[in-house]
Amino acid sequence: MRKLAEAVSRLRWGPIERRRRSGLVRLHDLLSRTSFHGKYWVFLGLMLGCVRDGGPLPADRDSDFAFLDRDLADFLAAVAVLRRNGYDLRPLQVNNDGRTTKWALRRQGYKYEFFQIDRYGDRYRWHTHRRKPPTELVNEIPAHGLADFELYGRRFRIPDNAERQLEILYGNWRQPDPDYVYWRDCRATIERHPWTGRRRRAAAV
């Protein structure tokens, strides 16, 4: 299904690199006019590509970002702006504790994911999910500040300890690993639990 969806997207809007570039530039410019500007940063696979290769991983069909829980209200207001400008909010995953801490938007067949980060002392914590079998993963990394990173002529934010984070997330991150699977191999995962698997319609935001 994913290959078919990507083929349809390519026919409608062009190669993934062009859609990724225009979507990230547009996202940056829209968010720069909101109170959420400067409060989110590149994360996970997007961070890996930016640090190792200078830009997104060529095969990635999504870009990951993160923000702190204290900025949730600003993020939700920014989501409304994105939705009015061509970014469709996908169904929301609900954690076992009843919260939503990950949001995904789609534009021209390309996805933009935002993870809410909860602060626990000197640690940052976030949740991810696997559908089969339904599993909730709790992940942690050391807390960090932010630095600037230029991408497509725009100034994004990136963790100031990005290389340390990548080591925790991916191990030998400098060497591409085609067999890496996030839910199995991520070294930041501290807990795994059966997931209720609930999803909430986007209109609930």
Q: Which residue has the tokens 């991983």?
A: 57
Strand ranges inside the chain, DSSP E: 40-42, 62-68, 88-89, 92-93, 102-107, 110-120, 123-130, 135-142, 146-151, 154-159, 189-194, 199-200
Q: Which neighbouring-strand residues pair with 192?
A: 137
Residue 204 has pLDDT above 60, yes or no: no
- Which residues make Cβ contacts (< 8 Å) with residue 188, sequence separation at least 6? 139, 140, 141, 168, 169
| CATH number for the domain harbouring residue 96 | 3.30.460.10
What is the count of structural domains for the chain? 1
Residue 127, domain extent: 2-204
Q: Which of 15, 1, 205 is nearest to 110 (CA)?
A: 15
Residue with tokens 């996030």: 182
Of residues 40 and 9, which shows the higher confidence score?
Answer: 40
In tens, the pLDDT along 128-187 reads: 999 899 999 999 999 999 999 999 999 999 999 999 999 999 999 999 999 999 999 999
pLDDT in tens, 1-36: 667 777 777 778 788 899 999 999 999 999 999 999
